[in-house]
Amino acid sequence: MVYFPSILPIFTSIFLILLPLSQAQLNSTFYSNTCPNVSNIVTNIIQQASQSDPRIGASLIRLHFHDCFVQGCDGSILLDNNSNGTIQSEKDAAPNTNSTRGFDVVDNIKTAVENLCPVLCPAGGPTWNVLLGRRDSTTANQAGANASIPAPFESLSNLTAKFSAVGLNVTDLVALSGAHTFGRSQCRLFSNRLYNFSGTGVPDPTLNTTYLANLRQICPQNGAGFNVADLDPTTPDVFDANYFSNLQSNRGSFNRIRSYFPVLRLTNTTNSADR
């Protein structure tokens, strides 16, 4: 079973954290007259999609994250290339190509909202008031996507710099990494840890040996790298805090956060995130 009780507030929280701009235009009742059921509409579409695609919740969170890190949460990642070349789609940026997904669900949400409301509006949170009314971007920033979106292999200094550029600190970095508590990752993003960690010719010694064996079954050494593995081996389709407890027991496919435990004092952060 797939659980998504808290995905929508997570989406809107990320929007608010990453884009502190145009606040004068935002309020929690922006759509109360023109689209009062927008939250229910969005929730229903996501729940329908999750029935056939357990990854979709994680994919949508990642899609929003990649949008927000480039000129704010303005939907610019949704824009396609145009015929006159004035828009170079962020979909074709290196962090997004053959990687970001969920665009079809966004299109379905857009269609459902437009069928019931005179305007298109973003998702609101079901448990607290969220400031709404952000305007969609009419331009894309492919270069910004290539430069600003955090990559799986980056150093702590690069990661903290990119988060700092959008007003986030180290605690925010660790907390937002918890979105990897569900969803999948392509083998090519972590296969070096399975076979040739840091050029040593052997696996990353910090990986749990049973977990390593499981990942190797999914990600063969000479494979193309496009197989996908659960980011959370314990509850792969549930939005919970197990991502952090998995890291503390050396069961995390991404190396960048686990290797920074001493610097980030991750235990305190993860305990707070769990609450």
Residues 141, 25 share a domain: yes
Which helix (H) or strand (E) element contains residue 186?
strand 184-186
Residues 112, 74 share a domain: yes
Report pLDDT for 183: 84
> Domain holding 52: CATH number?
1.10.520.10
Query: From CA 61, how far away is CA 6, in angstroms rounded?
Result: 12
* CA-to-CA separations, 114 to 19, 102, 144, in angstroms, rounded: 25, 19, 30
Query: Which among 106, 125, 148 is the end of a domain?
Result: 148
Residues 252, 162 share a domain: yes
Residue with tokens 């029935």: 51
Residues 136, 213 share a domain: no
| Domain assignment of residue 262, given as a range | 156-274
- Which residue of the set 55, 64, 66, 258 is catalytic? 66
- Residue 201 Rama label (left phi>0; alpha psi -120 to 50; beta): left
Residues 232, 131 share a domain: no
Report pLDDT for 18: 35
Residues 137, 57 share a domain: yes
Residues 14, 136 share a domain: yes
Domain annotation covers residue 1: no
Residues 141, 53 share a domain: yes
Residues 164, 202 share a domain: yes
Query: Which among 116, 148, 180 is the end of a domain?
Result: 148
Quick count: other Cβ atoms within 10 Å of Cβ 68? 23
Query: Which among 115, 148, 181 is the end of a domain?
Result: 148
Domain annotation covers residue 2: no
Domain annotation covers residue 200: yes
Q: How many domains does the chain fold into?
A: 2
Tell me the pLDDT of the chain (275 aa) as tens digits: 333 444 444 443 333 333 334 344 677 777 777 788 888 888 899 899 989 998 898 899 889 889 988 888 888 888 888 877 778 898 999 888 888 999 999 999 888 888 887 544 334 333 445 566 777 778 888 888 888 988 877 888 888 899 999 899 888 888 888 888 888 889 988 898 899 988 899 999 989 999 999 999 999 998 888 999 998 888 888 878 888 888 888 888 876 555 555 545 544 555 555 55
Report pLDDT for 1: 37
Report pLDDT for 223: 85
Domain annotation covers residue 168: yes
Residues 71, 31 share a domain: yes
Quick count: other Cβ atoms within 10 Å of Cβ 172? 17
Active site residue 180: no
Report pLDDT for 132: 67
Q: What is the full DSSP assignment across 133-160?
A: -PPPPSS--HHHHHHHS--TT--HHHHH
Residues 238, 140 share a domain: no
Residues 93, 25 share a domain: yes
